[in-house]
Amino acid sequence: MSSDDLPDQGKIRPAPESFLDSDLIESISRHGVDHRRRGLLQSAFGAAVAAMSGAVVASDQDILTLPEWSRTLGKPVAANPYGQPSIYEQNIIRRQSPGLTQTDQASVAFTPLQNMFGMITPSGLHFERHHQGWVDIDPRRHRLMINGLVEKPIVFTMEELMRMPSVSRLHFLECGANTALEWGNSAVPTVQYTHGMLSGSEWTGVPLSLLLERAGYDKGAKYLLAEGADGSSMTRTINMENALDDAIVAYGQNGEMLRPEQGYPLRLVVPGVQGVSWVKWLRRLEVGDMPYATKDEASHYVDLMPDGQQRQYTAIQEAKSVITAPSGGQKLQNRGYYNITGLAWSGRGTVTKVEVSVDGGRNWREARLDGPVLPKMLTRFHADWVWQGETALLQSRVHDSTGYIQPQRADLVAVRGTRSIYHNNAIQTWRVKSDGEVDNVQLG
């Protein structure tokens, strides 16, 4: 492949669902939506299927001729000491939302959920949310201090922490502000922007309970203050209940050390709890007997209710699901079979059932769940659908192990109003128009 074949900067290829098209290098909008060829099922694929079923495809050079990569030497192993995605995947990137103010440091970049498979987010595509930019800390100089209501304040080095007994567990991380723009009528175009402050990873580290035991924490203490080492003074109150349950002081993500954007070398993992409490670049844990009411829990991450009161310390991410394909910005090219797929999760436990509707919630049918279905982790679901060219309203709704059922937007708004920024777990609607275009609509 010569450098001439590489996509130009700013002229990246369409979403990967189009990779069977021979014309790979096409310009698309900077938000990952190809306005000319957004096919989920391209004609080349149709031709291949026809060939498999016995039809003669005399003109398909991709089948009739031996491609150059079958006639030449491949690249040496040393060419890629740390593996990178194919050059044909350069469009699969984190993106900043068109609906939010974009600043360099206090910012957010969203995971391209529309391009993901399964339940694990590749570390390089994990969404990132920083209040003061990200830092790359020398692990030899990083320390974790545990103080406050403890018998013996302790300071750990990374080496000491990594010698302790460890656990590896899969959990989702969702920002409390995920889906914030859907409170209003802004209806951003793609699932990357509506739900992309969501990722799923395997996290490795030391159980927080073990570290607290080691410091001899006061058994009457009810709270912890977690503090990050970045310039944002990120400090959050953690309930002792969550801390002692399944929280991890993590250094590993998907089998390797955390990425700097995710808090290298140490972050707090508080399964099921909103992302802001997963303090990155973790340097201090203080055991205390009352909530700390820090700036990030007194003025931010509170929900403004219709009566003007603020809901505070709403830590748990309630059950939620979203269809990731077909989803906003994509286009169905042909009538026929589609695999409706998406993700479901619950901060209170396990997904027990996902239902899918193609008529805006009038009729529901049960989706297939990919296993394993794990507590406080993303679950991938699928539903078969034959599209006949009609206008369709695609929705998914999740049930969790507490019996909770994800609400329709109108039901959530009836209780919460529209002035919250945070904790929007309403059912998402994607409209498939008769020309196959899919867009984001709000019902009710």
Which positions lie near ligand MTE, rule CB under 6 A?
126-131, 173, 175, 228, 230, 232, 234, 261-262, 275-276, 278-281
Query: Looking at beta carbons only, is 130 or 380 nearer to ligand MTE?
Result: 130
Query: Looking at beta carbons only, is 232 or 408 nearer to ligand MTE?
Result: 232
Instruction: Give the full edge-to-edge strand order of the sheet including 223-228.
Output: 154-157, 143-148, 282-288, 223-228, 235-239
Extract the tokens encoding 35. Answer: 């306005």
Q: How far is the CB of 438 from ligand MTE (least distance, A)?
A: 27
Query: Looking at beta carbons only, is 129 or 142 nearer to ligand MTE?
Result: 129
Q: How far is the CB of 262 from ligand MTE (least distance, A)?
A: 4
Q: Looking up tokens 């987010």, which residue turns up? A: 121
Q: How far is the CB of 86 from ligand MTE (least distance, A)?
A: 24
Question: 129 forms bridges with which residues in the sheet?
Answer: 108
Please provide residue 235's backbone torsions phi and psi, each rounded to the nearest 5 degrees: -135, 135
Please provide residue 45's backbone torsions phi and psi, each rounded to the nearest 5 degrees: -65, -40
Query: Looking at beta carbons only, is 262 or 357 nearer to ligand MTE?
Result: 262
In the bound state, the residue with its beta carbon closest to ligand MTE is 228
Q: How far is the CB of 368 from ligand MTE (least distance, A)?
A: 29
Q: How far is the CB of 181 from ligand MTE (least distance, A)?
A: 15
Query: Looking at beta carbons only, is 301 or 387 nearer to ligand MTE?
Result: 301
> Could you give the C-alpha distances from 431 to 48, 95, 331, 390, 441, in angstroms and in order?
29, 23, 11, 10, 6
Extended beta strands in 63-162, E state: 107-109, 128-130, 143-148, 154-157
Q: C-alpha angle with apex 198: 202 to 146, nearest 5 degrees? A: 60
Query: Looking at beta carbons only, is 107 or 333 nearer to ligand MTE?
Result: 107
Q: How far is the CB of 3 from ligand MTE (least distance, A)?
A: 33
Residues 6+ apart with CB under 8 A from 291: 223, 237, 297, 313
What is the rounded distance in angstroms from the CA atom of residue 127 to the CA atom of residue 204? 18
